[in-house]
Amino acid sequence: MITENRSTPPASRHVNDYVDTHCHLFWETFSDDLPDVIARAREAGVRQMLIPATDFATFEQAAEIADRFEGIFLAAGIHPHDAGELPPDFIDRLRMLAQHPRVAAIGEIGLDYYYDFTAPHVQHRVLNAQLELAKELDLPVILHNRDSDEDLLAIVREHQDGTLNGQFHCFSSGAEYALRVLETGFHISFTGNVTFKKSRLDPVLSLVPDDRLLIETDAPFMTPVPWRGKRNEPSYIPRIAERYAEARHQSVEHIAAVTSTNARRLFALPSPENTSDHHE
């Protein structure tokens, strides 16, 4: 007969503490099992998650998720894909949404020249206005960049007067560009893209200083190997952290510590709740 020996705690699996700084949990693909997705994230150590909206409707959906679960934070913003048909008062509406107590950033905003959903000059106008709003509200920004390296950096530089900060999310450009991004004071984060066989991101990963490095899934997109082809979710963050650790010749524990510290500093997140943390 096996008796419980209370003097010996169960063998504990060490779980690192992570912040997934970019996951779109409002996507329909999560609607059936969101509580399980969030439970798996917490088991993997991902205790805080930031959901960037892409427009007004997705902000409302993200805010509902933040009402239901602890550790969920929000960004209010208009994605370049959705910048085409905005009401004239869109900045006033964003300013109001940003009053939500879980809003940590203006995002995701930026430029996307890969898809031509919105003309570049319209994307510029919408981005400029949102960068000004971020400065007015003293919030960091979450930047989306697809095939728009030079224009995006030029616009950020125009607005950078020392008060603007933020994240170049899903970084996929080269080392030389990363160095110029770092000169603006911004942070850089990568997704499952660093696990892809064809990834040339290791040299970029290794040049980002510890205090500018963030981590994200961009779920449900950019699923890391070996789950490529499936839906991405925040519980895959440790896999991305492993690749960070390999490329940077640092321990996974170190990656977890610096990316979490940076995320909490940049987005002014509170210390994570201990109540939802029952690791065994």
- Residue 148 sits in the site that holds Zn ion (CB under 5 A): no
Q: How many CB atoms lie within 10 A of CB 65?
A: 18
For the chain, count helices (H), then strands (E). 9, 8
- Residue 33: CB minimum distance to Zn ion, A: 20
Residue number, 58 or 195, with CB nearest to Zn ion: 58
Query: 102-121: which residues touch Zn ion (CB under 5 A)?
Result: 108
Task: Check: CB of residue 130 under 8 Å from CB of residue 97.
Answer: no
Contacts of 121 (CB under 8 A, 6+ apart): none
CA distance 3 to 5: 6
3-class DSSP state of 76:
strand
Residue number, 170 or 245, with CB nearest to Zn ion: 170
The pair of three-digit structure tokens given for residue 76, joined into one six-digit string: 């209010």
- With tokens 């989306």, the residue in question is 144
Residue number, 144 or 248, with CB nearest to Zn ion: 144
Taking residues 125 to 144 in sequence order and writing x for each that binds Zn ion by CB under 5 A, - otherwise, the string is -------------------x
Task: Check: CB of residue 50 under 8 Å from CB of residue 19.
Answer: yes
Residue number, 45 or 77, with CB nearest to Zn ion: 77
Task: Check: CB of residue 58 under 8 Å from CB of residue 86.
Answer: no
Residue number, 108 or 233, with CB nearest to Zn ion: 108
Q: What are the phi and psi torsion angles at 210 (to 5°)? A: -50, -40
Residue number, 25 or 205, with CB nearest to Zn ion: 25
**To 5 degrees, how large is the angle CA 76–CA 101–CA 234?**
60
Instruction: Choose the stretch contacting Zn ion; rule: CB under 5 A; options: 100-108, 125-133, 189-197, 261-269.
Output: 100-108
- Residue 80: CB minimum distance to Zn ion, A: 9
- Residue 250: CB minimum distance to Zn ion, A: 26
- Residue 18: CB minimum distance to Zn ion, A: 18
* Number of residues near Zn ion (by CB under 5 A): 2
- Residue 50: CB minimum distance to Zn ion, A: 10
Residue number, 144 or 239, with CB nearest to Zn ion: 144
- Residue 124 sits in the site that holds Zn ion (CB under 5 A): no
- Residue 22: CB minimum distance to Zn ion, A: 6
Q: How many CB atoms lie within 10 A of CB 89?
A: 10
Return the residue nearest Zn ion (CB atom). Answer: 144
Q: What are the phi and psi torsion angles at 270 (to 5°)? A: -70, 165
CA distance 22 to 4: 42
Q: Which residues bind Zn ion (CB under 5 A)?
A: 108, 144
